[in-house]
Amino acid sequence: MPQETDTAPEAPAQTLRPFRLGSFEFTNLNQTERYLDKAVRIAELLDEHATIKNYIGNRAVRITLHLRTTETPADVIDRGDNGIDINLASYYFEKYDTGYIMGMLAHEIGLHPSPAATPTSPSRKRPTRACP
């Protein structure tokens, strides 16, 4: 005969699903109202920034939230016609205000891959390194 216990049943594991808004996709996003609102605002701001929008063009942008502790909070990888990958530390997304996140993303996009993607750049190489 099964015995009763005083412990509550385990909560089901939360499923992290992709969230899309236009050409932007957030992966590994905990889809609570707070995080969805933040993801929407970040996608809107990236899409409204003329230089970033010109750099992105019609390509897909995948923003993947990672558990990072020793690496930089973000890095950007330009995959040419295969889109742009932004790797973002989940702690940074969760704990920092949208303004801080946008400043960091503008820096990573504007300083690293974007200048190398312009026709007037001395080097057409698309860097994949983040700032130390």
Check residue 116 and give its pLDDT. Answer: 55
34-66 residue pLDDT tens:
999 999 999 999 999 888 888 899 999 999 998
Q: How much is the pTM?
A: 0.71
Q: What is the pLDDT of residues 106-132, one digit of tens each?
A: 888 877 665 555 544 443 344 444 555
Residue range 7-13: mean pLDDT, rounded:
50
Instruction: Give the whole-angstrom CA distance, residue 72 versus residue 89.
Output: 8
Average pLDDT over residues 73-94: 91
Taking CB atoms within 8 Å and a gap of at least 24, the contacts of 35-42 are 35/93, 35/94, 38/93, 38/98, 38/101, 39/63, 41/98, 42/98, 42/101, 42/102, 42/105
Render the burial of 8-28: b for 16+ CB within 10 Å, e for the rest: eeeeeeeeeeebeeebbbbeb
